[in-house]
Amino acid sequence: MQFNSAELGFLRIAVASPAVTVGDVTGNLVTIHAAIEDAQVEGARLLVLPELCLTGYSCADTFYHETLLEAAWNALVELCDASEERNLAVVVGLPVAVDGRLFNCAAMVCGGEIVGIVPKTYLPNTNEFYEARWFRPASDAQSDIIDVGGYEVPFGNDLLFRLKAPAGPDCLIGIEICEDLWTVQPPSGAMAVAGASVILNPSNSPEILGKAAYRRSLVQAQSARCLAAYAYAGAGPGESTTDVVSSGHSMIAEYGNILTETRRFRFDTQIAVADLDIGRLYAERLRSSSFGGAQTQRTFRELALEFAPSNETMSADDLRRRVDAHPFVPRPEERGEVCGEIFAIQTTALTKRMRHIGSASLVIGVSGGLDSTLALLVAARAFDRMRRGRRHILAVTMPGFGTTERTKSNAVELARELGVELREIDIRDAVRQHFRDIGHDENRHDITFENAQARERTQILMDLANMEGGIVLGTGDLSELALGWSTYNADHMSMYNVNCGVPKTLVRTVVEWCADEVFEGRVSEILHDICDTPVSPELLPADAHGNPQSTEGTIGPYELHDFFLYHFHRHHVRPRKLCALALKAFGEQYSYNDILDTMEVFHRRFFSQQFKRSALPDGPKVGTIALSPRGDWRMPSDAVAAIWLEEITQVRRELQEANSRW
């Protein structure tokens, strides 16, 4: 499937650390032209080059020489002329003399024009830095438009550059230079409040031990704080090594995440390219009341970047950013820390609730599935923390018409190994009696057949809780809440639900972590087998081939639903873009039709099942996504998914037409 990245809110940007020679403006211009050509080939619309890269940052007292300054300006004019033939904006660093003062500047060049020149705001002048010896800060500028060599150019640190988008939000770009980022109040903060969603930083930050990690953390933190993208271009090892070494550390971050970065300490030109999700940043700002209420005393001038919008199409594979197929699941190196935090949140929440109500006992239905397993593990740990014996936990297994021996035996054995009280109550006779009472044919395996079992189980748990003077612990996870994959007033209901903030893909990960890191011996073995068991409500008898009822066979893969939930809820992504992201994330694992079919199921169920979420029991928020009607998600129960479904239909139609032409 082909799509226009700009129409989906993406902007391809490049940062480069060119092979600069100190003082050799002519040679540096050749190298910079080559970097621009590379960025153009990569399809970038914006290229950021390092601080003072036309001359070299480390020219020292030769910055006073008219010969060097004139050569730098002439090189900028040549770049300007060359840009007329390129659909690319370039930010390049150079020294500029204005009104008898010298400034360390970044020039924005686009469409055959020098669009604007931004002087550095803060000049470092300690340790190895002597910038105040040669340059003046932006505050000393006397003019906001300068005439250099016959060019009238906007000048100042109050410039923002607007890039019009063919669809969706425009991109407003701000520039700060090196040290500006390292100060107490970086100028980019005010730029972001004024609307800049992309911040560019031409820099020369010499290396010392540990500085690369600190620099990376600054870029990440500022992009997160500003709800922006941040492109940082660092000078390379071609700079003078008289006293320090520059490494060519360039990187691109978006809202706290590093998308890409260059290799350091390489003498050849290094370039890194990424697709920024401008639409995502716009959505983050819309939902942030803190950002919306932020104000700045600074005023800015807006300048337009004029070049033709890109009409090139690309496949999802060509998207230059990592799209995580499992956005809720931690990376392997982070699993222990993240899962430990989740487990701590769940157990702390349950401990607080048990202490508050003063109940000594807890009742939980166990099926041998992932959700009830995680809830049981949380309960066991919470009772350990309260120094109450696990025998006060009553685990109830309630086999019905679809229960398999594998899940039942896992539930029974796990409860026994954990040392909780276990009861087995077969619900089949009670449900048959109910069928007779309401006149339902037991051989008719419809929704009544399934839900009657779910409600019988909940009635048993509630009555046992009354008998024991305890509460019923809910087990339904976040994915089930999103899809409404629960029986209303049955497994939908409890006195407290510790899993309500944990989606299905993450439930499996936490249980696996418990098996590997928290529990051992036979408990660990049982947990691993539970993780390997296909997800099923086990409300219908096995089919003619002995296969149990399959949840994912009915509604589609949970990993797709969790992917859709994350981007729909967190970033408000529309179906067309969601399809492109899913194709990028899952590659050839799913076909276009698989993705669109599951996406349609997700949107239909998410909207139609809101009435269940409007009546949810209490439970702790765990990650950035939650569906509690008292917290993160408010939606009327009679809202409809029509326009989302229409777009899915349109994408499907376009796909079919493209395939027929092919």
User: Could you report the per-residue pLDDT of 388-430, keeping only the tens digit for each?
Assistant: 999 999 999 999 999 999 999 999 999 999 999 999 999 999 9
Of 51, 284, 450, 538, the active-site residue reads: 51
Q: CB 303: neighbour CB atoms within 10 A?
A: 18
**pLDDT tens-place string over residues 372-381:** 999 999 999 9
Our measurement of the distance from residue 381's CA atom to the centroid of its chain's CA atoms, rounded to an integer in Å, reads 31
User: What angle do the packed helices 370-385 and 504-513 form, to 10 degrees?
Assistant: 50
pLDDT tier for residue 312 given thresholds of 50, 70 and 90: low
Q: What is the dihedral of CA 474, 476, 481, 487, to 10 degrees?
A: -80
Closest CA to 237 of 224, 249, 221: 249
Q: What is the pLDDT of residue 645?
A: 97
- Residue 505 is encoded by which pair of tokens? 């893909």
Q: CB 27: neighbour CB atoms within 10 A?
A: 13
Q: How far apart are CA 120 and CA 180, in angstroms?
A: 7
**pLDDT at 322 exceeding the cut of 80:** yes
Percent of the chain exceeding pLDDT 90 equals 88
Q: How far apart are CA 486 and CA 16, in angstroms?
A: 52
pLDDT tier for residue 167 given thresholds of 50, 70 and 90: low
Average pLDDT over residues 457-466: 97
- Residue 72 is encoded by which pair of tokens? 């730098």
**pLDDT tens-place string over residues 89-125:** 999 999 999 999 999 999 999 999 999 999 999 999 9
The letter for the amino acid at 251 is M
The question of whether 51 is a catalytic residue gets the answer yes
Q: CB 449: neighbour CB atoms within 10 A?
A: 20
Q: How far apart are CA 650 and CA 102, in angstroms?
A: 57
pLDDT tier for residue 309 given thresholds of 50, 70 and 90: low
**pLDDT at 465 exceeding the cut of 70:** yes
Inter-residue contact 428 to 452 (CB < 8 Å): no
**Which residues lie across from 116 on neighbouring strands?**
108
As a whole number, the mean pLDDT across the chain is: 94
Hey, what CATH topology would domain 2-318 get? Nitrilase/N-carbamoyl-D-aminoacid amidohydrolase (3.60.110)
What does the domain layout of the chain look like in residue ranges? 2-318, 332-661
Average pLDDT over residues 548-564: 95
pTM assigned to the model:
0.92
**pLDDT at 306 exceeding the cut of 70:** yes
User: What angle do the packed helices 370-385 and 521-531 form, to 10 degrees?
Assistant: 150
Of 120, 408, 584, 612, the active-site residue reads: 120
How many CA atoms are closer than 13 Å to the CA of 399, on its beta-carbon side? 14
Q: How far apart are CA 582 and CA 269, in angstroms?
A: 33
Q: How far apart are CA 113 and CA 86, in angstroms?
A: 12
Where is pLDDT greater, at 150 or 156? 156
Q: 332-661, which class in CATH?
A: alpha beta
Closest CA to 138 of 115, 163, 158: 158
**pLDDT at 5 exceeding the cut of 90:** no
The letter for the amino acid at 246 is S
The question of whether 120 is a catalytic residue gets the answer yes
Where is pLDDT greater, at 658 or 140? 140
Inter-CA distances, 157 with 161, 162, 250, Å: 12, 15, 22
In the block, residue with structure tokens 């109050």: 158
Listing DSSP states for 452-520 in one string gives: HHHHHHHHHHHHHHHHHT-EEEE---HHHHHHT-S-TTTTT--SEETTTT--HHHHHHHHHHIIIII--
**pLDDT tens-place string over residues 209-268:** 999 999 999 999 999 999 999 999 999 999 999 999 999 999 999 999 999 999 999 999
Of 80, 105, 178, 339, the active-site residue reads: 178
